[in-house]
Amino acid sequence: MKKELLMASALVSTLGATSVAQAVTATMAGSMKIGAEFESPGGSTVDSNNVVDLSNFNISLSETTDAGTTISTSFEIVDEGAVAADDDNALKLTFTDGSALEILNAGNAAGTHVVAVPGAGGEQAIGGTSSNNAPTDVDFGAGSTVLGVEWHSAADFLADGLKLSASFSSDSGAAKSTTARVESSYGVGATYVTTAGDTTLTIGGGVAASETAMSGATQLTADKEGYNIGISAVTGDLTVGIGFGDGDTFADEDAGVTSQVDGSVTKAGISYVTGDITLALGGTSGEAKDANFGTAPTTDDAKDTVSASVTYAVASGVSAVLGYLTEDHQDNGASDDTGGSSWYVGATMSF
């Protein structure tokens, strides 16, 4: 309770210094994706195709106090067949020295500093249900609760090109259930940007740890935790990048089964812009050992994907995309036919 009261006091005291205003400044952005996707799953599953119709609308809100502190937040409305509002964004305070503090829904600092690795455009994907728990994101070990804060340093903190972040989240106070959840977390992360000749290098990563809880006698033998590191290089129109993540997490599966997962993942990609055309190639290799809570993970899962795309800038804010994806899966030490291949052709209009 003491931690919650301290957070509430900090929020009220900060906002109390704000001048009374009639309305904040709002900016809008969004996109509409329309296309067709064709799937060829492995095994006996028949080929399928479907129309892709995705839209999102984002509104960012911002205002600056008389003291120079900028207060901002945002929300997004996403339509992927069922309209949903994504409003779990933090309230962010940016101070005059360039540092910032996110209050509530802040996330984990280890995820903030994940280096962007080039990947294929398009909405190609492979459907199917599987107990394969191999990770595909390098920050899979970073967890948080909504009652959290994250501090960001100003640019060039301690050294030119260096930026740091640290986060903490606390127990929500809700009663435990049979579904596992993160109770509290911390994370630290850093990004360093430098140049080598004509190349701009970005190096980043972070470390995260979380306390995880569930009801009943069967508990985890490891909590949600891990680290990630990555590097990207940009030379003119060419971008290459690679990222790696390792750690523990958990997965709630069908029939009330909850598994703990010990995994790692490597992502690599390259993109090249030539005129109005962007060529991209990306690959992901994830592996994991998973088992029911209370049992040491022993069985092997794996997901290996390769994707490529060609994107053509038709007009300002309008692009045409042709994408391809192939996936190989292994579940519990055996080949899993939920893999396969997929094509996508479509257009994106952004504003």
Q: Is residue 49 within 8 Å of 41, Cβ to Cβ?
A: no
CATH number listed for the domain at residues 2-350? 2.40.160.10
Q: Which two tokens stand for residue 220?
A: 């985890």
| H helix count then E strand count, the chain | 2, 17
Token output for 175: 């009663």
Backbone angles phi, psi at 25, to 5 degrees: -85, 130
Domain residue spans in the chain? Answer: 2-350
pLDDT tens string, the chain, 351 residues long: the values are: 444 444 444 444 545 444 444 688 999 999 999 999 998 877 666 788 889 888 888 999 999 999 999 999 988 887 665 555 555 678 999 999 999 999 988 889 999 999 999 999 988 888 766 677 888 899 999 989 888 999 999 999 999 999 999 999 998 777 776 677 888 899 999 999 999 999 999 999 999 999 887 766 555 566 789 999 999 999 999 999 999 999 988 877 655 567 788 899 999 999 999 999 999 999 999 998 877 766 666 778 889 999 999 999 999 999 999 999 999 888 776 666 677 889 999 999 999
CA distance 236 to 233: 10
Alpha helices in 105-211 (DSSP H): 109-112
Q: Which of 78, 121, 27 has its CA nearest to residue 319?
A: 121
Taking alpha carbons only, the member of 22, 27, 156, 11 closest to residue 92 is 11
pTM here is 0.81
Which phi and psi (to 5°) does residue 179 adopt? -90, 130
Q: How many CB atoms lie within 10 A of CB 71?
A: 19
Cβ neighbours of 175 (radius 10 Å): 6
